[in-house]
A and B are shown apart, each in its own frame.
Chain A
Amino acid sequence: MRTILEINKLSMDFGGLRALDNFDLKMNEGEIVALIGPNGAGKTTLFNCATGIYAPSGGDIFLSPEPDRKIRINSLKPNIITGKGMIRTFQNIRLFPNMTVLENVMIGRHCRTSSGILGAILRNDSTRKEESGIVDHSYKILEKIGLNHFVSELARNLPYGAQKKLEIARALATEPFLLLLDEPAAGLNARETKELDTLIAQIRDEEKISILLIEHDMKLVMSISDRIVVMDYGRKIAEGPPDEIRINPVVIKAYLGEEFVA
């Protein structure tokens, strides 16, 4: 198994608050890893550091898009990191509300296309080809995710569940090899959560995208993940396959609670 993401002794301070404290994490190709922990444990902060939105106070983050290539991405800008193939979704939905569903996904294609000002004005052959390629690719993704009947709707008019899906669709449009999902099931009903479960498995199996997932829905986490990492106060307190984590006394004490075991 090849390591595609390696986080070493990552720390992040907000004034006096240490949101990440020497945190280590490794992701292998094709894995679904779940990151769990109580609110305020630093899970979202980890995503923000990894995707270049925050500059970590210490430690290293390495990304390996291909075998024998390892890039340190600590101080890179978010758009560069996206270009390297790691993309995230947001815990509190951050779509482009006044753009259509299709356009939201088309923005994801930005980093994989290149036409510039002259191309836009002259609309020459190559620009037109690229543009229709963007539309087709984006539409295919929407079809796969099951949002194709919403294409021309403004993103802000979508129901909550569809907005969550659209975030994933937009992320997939960037052709990542690693997808970071921040609480994708939060606020979804049972049926939608089930669909999400299938979707995540499908993304991994068909698109060959590895997934790092922050989630509080334990049923989803236990059923889908190959490995679970548990965080508390910015530190890793446990790591292992679901069956081990389920019965780990430290995890039960810090996060799962006694009733989960029963």
Chain B
Amino acid sequence: MLNVSEMKKSLLVSIWFMFLTFPIMVIRVNPIEKIVEWRWGNMFLVGIGSFILSFIWRYFIRQKESGLKKVEMGEKIIPFFEKLRSGDSIYLRSLCMTLSCAAAVFPFVFSTYQTTIMTTVLMYVVLGLGLNIVVGLAGLLDLGYVAFYAVGAYSYALLNYHFGLGFWTVLPLGAVLGAFFGILLGFPVLRLRGDYLAIVTLGFGEIIRLVLENWNEFSFGPSGIANIPRPSFLGIQFSLQQATVYQYFLTIGLALCTIFVVNRLQDSRIGRAWIALREDETACQAMGVDKVRTKLRAFALGATWAGMVGVMFAAKTTFINPASFTFIESALILSIVVLGGMGSVPGVVIGACILILLPEYLRAFTEFRMLLFGAILVLMMVFRPQGIISNVRRTYELKGVPGRTLRD
């Protein structure tokens, strides 16, 4: 492994990296003393670091290739998560039990701050699952998903401000408005696919944000809306800490509900039509699936969840302004779906945990957050393009052969 050509390759890589990072890692201009510092030590470190990393990189690439070869030769490599799923369901059940116990005691063991973070994670789980319907199942690349989130948040804030409507009244309204805007976006993009669809949805997201930012009479512009009430329980007002715990459980409830509904949709006549549409639009239509209706349903059902989470978000932060609904937010939600595994519910849950928790606990590395984020996504695309947990098609049980699924 440590032969000359390998060394040469790594040497090239390290020289290339030293060259690339030269301006930011080596030169530092000090404008106060008007001098230029040359930090040659950094260059040395970058060189050594990239030299070693390139070895590791190639090692993993080789691993991956030999893995592929094994699959080609007919060996079945069962990944860990599938073992979990297909093997004894005892493992799965005990995992679920542990998780739900942990979730139940979490807010009483950890601080309010931690509970708030977990609530955020759960919100992104719901957002990810909603976008997963549009992107993962129906294959419609939607880069403006945050718009529906904004619709939900602003509907609570504004309806409360003007009409004094409470959280529980607006929650379903937020869902309906989300769905409505989903259809509104759906109509003009029915004929678009791939890149074109991505660009138009991106534009849609920006339009909603810009309207909120500039239409002062309607949305109070960039200064946003404050004093949005937290959710109440039978009219009882909570202290801040109690409210945090209450919100946490509400979000768990919403997340469970989403998981349940998305799972059922996925395994239904509609879910199959979505997947067929993703696989081959022309063939899907030729086989009798109504393209228009199927696409609109995907947009509407995806946006519904964003609308609900929007309401929850407004109630959680008690203050919203357009800055919370930028494109980066859409990109983050999309990354959750892609990282976790398109079309896979457990994948999205894990994706949300990684992408929301990592930045929280890596606050020390704030400066490198985006760098890390990018690196994770690139690594994923190289080593596991199907996401952490790839979607496995379900098998069906047949009448007459009870208990026996068709996979064997």
Contact = CB atoms under 8 A, between A and B. Distances in A.
A116 B270 CA distance: 7
Contact of B269 (A83, A88, A100, A113): A113
Nearest to B273: A110
Nearest to A96: B279
A134 interface: yes
B399 A110 contact: no
B65 interface: no
A108 to B, nearest CB: 6
Given A152-B406, A152-B407, A79 B269 contact: no
Interface stretch (B111-119, B146-154, B236-244, B280-288): B280-288
B265 A117 contact: yes
From B265, B285, B291, B407, residue with most partner A Cβ within 10 Å: B285
A120 interface: yes
A53 interface: yes
A115 B269 CA distance: 7
A113 B269 CA distance: 8
A117 B301 contact: yes
Nearest to A167: B283
Contacts of A99: 272, 275-276, 279, 393
A87 to B, nearest CB: 8
- Interface size for chain B: under 10, 10 to 19, 20 to 34, or 35 or more residues? 35 or more
A103 B275 CA distance: 10
A119 B282 CA distance: 26
A98 interface: yes
A207 to B, nearest CB: 17
Nearest to A47: B286
Contacts of A102: 396, 406
A111 interface: yes
A83 B288 contact: yes
A17 interface: no
A97 interface: yes
A54 to B, nearest CB: 11
- Chain B contact residues: over half helix, strand or loop, or mixed? helix
Contacts of A98: 275, 279, 393
Contacts of A152: 393, 395, 405-408
A108 B399 contact: no
A120 B269 contact: yes
Contact of B284 (A87, A107, A151): A107
B270 A95 contact: no
Given A94-B280, A110-B273, A131-B269, A174 B285 contact: no
A121 B265 contact: yes
28 contacts: A52-B286, A53-B286, A78-B285, A78-B286, A79-B285, A79-B288, A79-B289, A79-B290, A95-B280, A95-B283, A96-B279, A97-B280, A99-B275, A100-B395, A102-B406, A103-B275, A107-B289, A112-B288, A113-B269, A115-B269, A119-B268, A121-B265, A127-B268, A131-B268, A134-B269, A135-B398, A136-B398, A152-B405
Given A77-B285, A87-B288, A174-B287, 5 more contacts: A78-B285, A88-B286, A95-B283, A120-B271, A135-B396
**Complex A-B, nearest 5 residue pairs according to Cβ-Cβ distance, in ascending order:** A111-B288, A120-B268, A82-B288, A96-B279, A152-B407
